[in-house]
Amino acid sequence: MKSESIKAALLSVIIFLTFIGAWYIATLPRDNGPVSTADAEYAALMGKGAEKSGGFPAPGKVGQAFVEHLADPFYDKGPNDKGIGIQLAHSLGRVGLGFLLATLVAIPVGFAIGMSPLLFKAFNPFIQVLKPISPLAWMPLALYSLKDSSVSGIFVIFICSVWPMLINTAFGVASVRRDWINVARTLEVRPLRKAFLVILPAAAPTILTGMRISMGIAWLVIVAAEMLVGGTGIGYFVWNEWNNLALPNVIFAVVMIGVVGMLLDLAFGSLQKLVTYRE
């Protein structure tokens, strides 16, 4: 078992190095031929010899972007230029708020739907229609009706992360083993007590799976929403660097989005382990 994980780690490192190597070779500078001195002025205006964004950046350039941004993650040079740490904090704040609101709605409603087959049938068509709508499709509607861009961003997070949680909660609650509910009934447990002490622990693993899926979606959505609304956040950072065609910074941001997404997922993974039980 132990030797296998070492082997896997080794393989991961090899894959990574091969990838970087291939990238390095693919982006080796090509010789553009000597620039004649006659149009030296033109060449100077075209930025020949200067650093610029031509082609895909080499790994060295991207590495440099990593070092620069991570060396000073919390700088604040005005409303439109902040460090990566501040941008990520803004994004996480938005995701956290939208996700919290979604949890507050999805879990009680999911509980109610799960306990009553009638409600489940009644709500199902609406959930099925609303679930697949892209977050960005909500954006113009939210901006128009909520009249506030930051509230709209949070609303979009909310509306996209509410469905998986709702469905999973309802499913988890509905599929609690009949025996346990029957035992509770025999012991004349009051409904509230039954909900919190029998059904909730039994459905918790399924509910947390829903929350984990929702968090993944929320993190996907925030980047797109911030690119649209702008202002602050990692999505805005990507957009701002794209305007400048500064690909090393964009690649850096993409990796950061991946890392933060993974950390969020790991956090929910360990929460899930806490509530898992064996029958």
The window from 12-20, 89-97, 123-131, 238-246 that contacts another protein (CB under 8 A) reads 238-246
CB contact set of 166 (below 8 Å; sequence gap of 6+): 105, 106, 109, 110, 113, 127, 210
Q: How many other CB atoms sit within 10 Å of the CB of residue 249?
A: 23
How many angstroms separate the CA atoms of 97 and 85, rounded? 18
Cα distance between residue 32 and residue 95, in whole Å: 47
Of 227, 251, 253, 257, the one binding another protein (CB under 8 A) is 227
Instruction: Select 159 or 228, whichever has its Cβ closest to another protein.
Output: 228
Q: Which of 244, 255, 259, 273 binds another protein (CB under 8 A)?
A: 244
The one among 23, 66, 180, 242 contacting another protein by CB under 8 A: 242
260/159 Cα distance (integer angstroms): 21
Stretch that binds another protein, among 101-109, 198-206, 227-235, 255-263 (CB under 8 A): 227-235
d(CA 196, CA 212): 21
Give residue 63's Cα distance to chain centre.
23
Angle CA 97–253–210, to nearest 5: 40
Exactly one of 12, 18, 80, 276 binds another protein (CB under 8 A); that residue is: 80
Is the CB of 103 or the CB of 241 nearer to another protein? 241
Indicate which single residue of 29, 33, 79, 125 sits in contact with another protein (rule: CB under 8 A): 79
Name the 3-class secondary structure at 192. Answer: helix
User: Which 170-199 residues touch another protein, going by CB under 8 A?
Assistant: none
Of the ranges 56-64, 110-118, 162-170, 240-248, which one interacts with another protein (CB under 8 A)? 240-248
Give the span between the Cα atoms of 209 and 197, in whole angstroms.
20
Q: Please report how close the Cβ of residue 87 comes to another protein at its closest, in angstroms.
A: 12
Residue whose entry in the numeric block shows the structure tokens 């291939």: 22
Polymer length of the chain:
279
Helix (H, G, I), strand (E, B) or coil at 53: coil
Instruction: Determine which residue in the list 14, 183, 197, 245 makes contact with another protein, applying CB under 8 A.
Output: 245
Q: Considering the rule CB under 8 A, would residue 154 count as an interface residue with another protein?
A: no
Q: Which is nearer to another protein, 152 or 209 (CB)?
A: 152
The CA distance from 41 to 43, in Å, is: 5
Please report how close the Cβ of residue 237 comes to another protein at its closest, in angstroms. 10
**C-beta of 32 vs 186, nearer to another protein:** 32
Q: Binding string to another protein for residues 26 to 65, with x set by CB under 8 A, is what?
A: -------------x-xx--xxx--x-xxx-----------
What residues form DSSP beta bridges with 82? 76
Residues lying near another protein in the complex (CB under 8 A): 39, 41-42, 45-47, 50, 52-54, 77-81, 143-144, 147-149, 227-231, 239-245
